[in-house]
Amino acid sequence: MSSPETTTDQSGSNKQQRRRRRHHFILVHGVCHGAWCWYRVATALSSAGHRVTALDMAACGARPGRADEVPSFERYTAPLLDAVADQDGEEKAVVVAHSFGGQSLALAMEKHPEKIAVAVFVTATMPAAGKSMSFAFKQLSQGKDADFFMDCTIRTIGDPQNPDKTFLFGPEYLARRVYQLSPPEDLALAMSTVRPSRRFLNDATMNGDVLTEGRYGTVRRVYVVAEEDEWKPAEIQRLMVSWNPGTEVRALQGADHMPMFSKARELSELLMEIANKYS
């Protein structure tokens, strides 16, 4: 750290050096979405000189296949696990996950904690060490009946003796509870691009004792609260933070469930600030 005697010019130079630091951002989408939802943030980060990897999870975005063909949550998450594992040498990634993507990020943290400089949960599901990942999902689902999901489509798939479900946002639900503060062109993009996602309710990884304090719990993490999220209210976001002591909390005012659209510039700047702090 600079001494109190550092001159103004030196201080300015130090700040410029911090701003010029280059990071590798890995961006993880939420349910029904794909890498496409990060286009505003990815453009801002890459324009600032950073390396950006926006991923499609299995059977999501531009990847081929159907949700009901993905056999497990770990297979669903494989694109992220591979991207984190493939970090060169001592390089560590800044991994940013949105919504359901938080559970994929948690699994990557458990498997490759040494490869992640900081994990950023953007209004994301944030599991707790020592509890199943499905515990977080069940907490988020409490009190939400079928009427809450309006015109969303939920279908039963798989073995009748051990069924699972797929989920697809409806246009009205997207407009009123997910994108209500986002630009209309981004809502239109979502309406034409979202795909059904498997929920993995009975998956062994989702329901097992997978996340440990010694691995998952050692990764530095930041939670970005979307204050106007209608789908995952701010109090629920902060509840998940309370399960993970030591998590830094940053808030975005005026952000709906899609801060990468409703507050794209502010989120991009915040991600670069977080990366500089923790890398």
| Residue 22: φ, ψ to 5° | -105, 135
Residue 150 near residue 173, CB atoms below 8 Å: yes
d(CA 270, CA 276): 10
Residue 250 near residue 198, CB atoms below 8 Å: no
d(CA 137, CA 127): 8
Please give the positions annotated as active site.
99, 229, 257
Cα–Cα nearest to 116, from 103, 107, 125, 124: 107
Residue 197 near residue 167, CB atoms below 8 Å: yes
| Residue 243: φ, ψ to 5° | -80, -10
The residues near 88 (Cβ < 8 Å, ≥ 6 apart) are none
Residue 132 near residue 123, CB atoms below 8 Å: no
* The residue type at 230: E
d(CA 172, CA 179): 10
Cα 274 from chain centroid? 15
| Residue 179: φ, ψ to 5° | -115, 20
Residue 232 near residue 259, CB atoms below 8 Å: no
Strands, E assignment, 162-278: 164-168, 197-198, 221-226, 248-252
